[in-house]
Chains A and B, each alone.
Chain A
Amino acid sequence: MIPEFLLRAWLAGLTLAVVAGPLGCFVVWRRMAYFGNTLAHSALLGVTLGLLIGADLILAVAAVAIVVAVLVVVLQQQRRLATDTILGILAHASLAIGLVVLGLAGSVRVDLLGYLFGDILAVRWSDIVAMAVGGAAILAFLAAAWRWLLFATLHEEMARAEGARVVALRLALMILIALVIAAAMKLVGILLITAMLIIPPAAARPLARTPEEMALLAALAGMIAITGGLALSWYLDTPGGPSIVVAALALFVATQSTAALRAVLIER
């Protein structure tokens, strides 16, 4: 018999994995890993502001992350600084501002570790419902815009020449990533969020021959990682979020080494 809190954690994790897999593929294809990290850094500012004004923390984190995402797009339009410089500035600025504001608001007590590493076992049913609804909306958008997103990922100018609104697509992707990061914060924590966007697609890559296959396999890899991580956490009493990331890593190592082994064997 599975205890209810474990069932809740598992369902929340599966919901996250199903969305993070396909979305994470775009993060990998477009080399946006550092962008994901920047949004994750800004999450602490979101938490602080949310606590100060008494707003829902997930909404506050999503709002701050979306502001940061828009700032990235706006700053990219000037062409003097490279994107990784812009991201570095925004990541560390938002983290520092978050900590400074936290220090100023001395009266607010925050469980910093809880936000940094998440607490998947504390997930409530209402969180799961919200994640499922939001996740379904994100997947619906990805499915509808799939070919245009892929086209713009391949070559922005070619896509623009043939009618794609590439800046709008890029902004939409960034906002979706911001939303997923806000939702995932409770589960795996600020420091490990991007892992759920990057490791499952990377683990799926050697097995996939088409973008769609990679998206599906990434979702599957994420689900396996969630299941394995929670099992690890349950039997060995390890922290939930990190255990999930370790399980994802194990999958990545397995698919990569299988692919490498196969390449060696075929060459012989």
Chain B
Amino acid sequence: MATAAFDPPSKPLVAVRHAEVRFGRVVALDDVDLTIRPSEIVTLIGPNGAGKSTLVRLVLGILRPHRGRVERRPGLSIAYVPQRLAIDASLPLNVDRFLDLPHRHSRGEKRAVLGDVGLGDVEDQALATLSGGQFQRVLLARALLAEPDLLVLDEPAQNIDHRGQIELYRLVAELRKSRGCAVLLVSHDLHLVMRATDRVICLDRRVCCAGAPETVGSDPVYAELFGAGAAAALAPYRHRHDEPDDRRVVPFEARRDGT
């Protein structure tokens, strides 16, 4: 046990301790630790097959570790935005009814949360007719309606264009500020989420490195995992980060030219 002086200021919402998960003989997670405290944004990055989704499922309580444990604060409410949500064509579902899952909300509440995620008058639109970016925002709006302590977003920007991704992450950062919920983000793209995140956990079946985004970005382990190009790609961004009023993120092409 740590002494009182080293105790964190607030009790974690979720703490994964020394978790090991195996699928048959394959070790998906090996001795992984992860704590999420109130209103912090934690980003999980790692290559494909690194066990990101497995760790998310531990946090969500869908999966149990074979070794180690997952502690959840009693009464913790979690809202989840999955990586993919394919809606069967046989199921007619408009935005309004989708926002009522699993709990009913008033017309006013729904309109307000759609405004919060930057969507206008889409309540009566069928989910199937929304663009990728709109759809992600609707998923986010539904999750927010539950007023969760912890919002889990699994690769939320997968089917959106680059510009839309940047806007989505900016929105997540804003929502954390206005609502105070903690966020667990999964991404395979550190430079996109840098500005939106407090802490980064770099995962490759075990935790390779962790810390502030700039620290992880310059960690040699990170460079090894994602290739030297990815680490170098962060350099211009870090430079811009020093200018406090600059809210732009350099597009990928520009970054490549710069290095």
Let me know if A210 and B82 touch, CB within 8 A: no
Take A209-B126, A211-B92 as given contacts and tell me if A157 and B57 are in contact as well, using a CB distance cutoff of 8 Å: yes
Which of A107-115, A144-152, A183-191 is the contact stretch?
Answer: A144-152
How many residues on B have C-beta within 8 angstroms of the other chain's C-beta atoms? 28
Which B residues are in CB contact (< 8 Å) with A148? 102
Let me know if A211 and B91 touch, CB within 8 A: yes
Bound-complex Cα distance A205 to B126 (A): 13
Let me know if A161 and B102 touch, CB within 8 A: no
Take A147-B102, A211-B97 as given contacts and tell me if A157 and B88 are in contact as well, using a CB distance cutoff of 8 Å: no
How many A-B Cβ pairs are below 8 Å? 71
Bound-complex Cα distance A201 to B91 (A): 10
Bound-complex Cα distance A164 to B79 (A): 12
Bound-complex Cα distance A247 to B207 (A): 62
Let me know if B91 and A161 touch, CB within 8 A: no
**Interface SS of chain A:** helix
Let me know if A155 and B85 touch, CB within 8 A: yes
Task: For the complex formed, measure the closest distance between the CB of A162 and the CB atoms of chain B, giving whole angstroms.
Answer: 6
Bound-complex Cα distance A205 to B96 (A): 18
Interface string of A110-139 (1 = CB under 8 A from B): 000000000000000000000000000000
Interface string of A144-179 (1 = CB under 8 A from B): 000110110111011111111000000000000000
A160 nearest in chain B by CB position: B62
Let me know if A29 and B146 touch, CB within 8 A: no
Of A154, A202, A213, which one neighbours B92 at CB under 8 angstroms? A213
- CB of B101 within 8 A of chain A? yes
Which A residues are in CB contact (< 8 Å) with B61? 160-161
Let me know if A162 and B82 touch, CB within 8 A: no
The list of the 8 closest CB pairs from A to B, nearest first, reads: A161-B80, A161-B60, A151-B101, A151-B102, A208-B92, A29-B91, A210-B97, A28-B90
A residues near B, CB below 8 A? 28-29, 31, 147-148, 150-151, 153-155, 157-164, 201-202, 205, 208-214
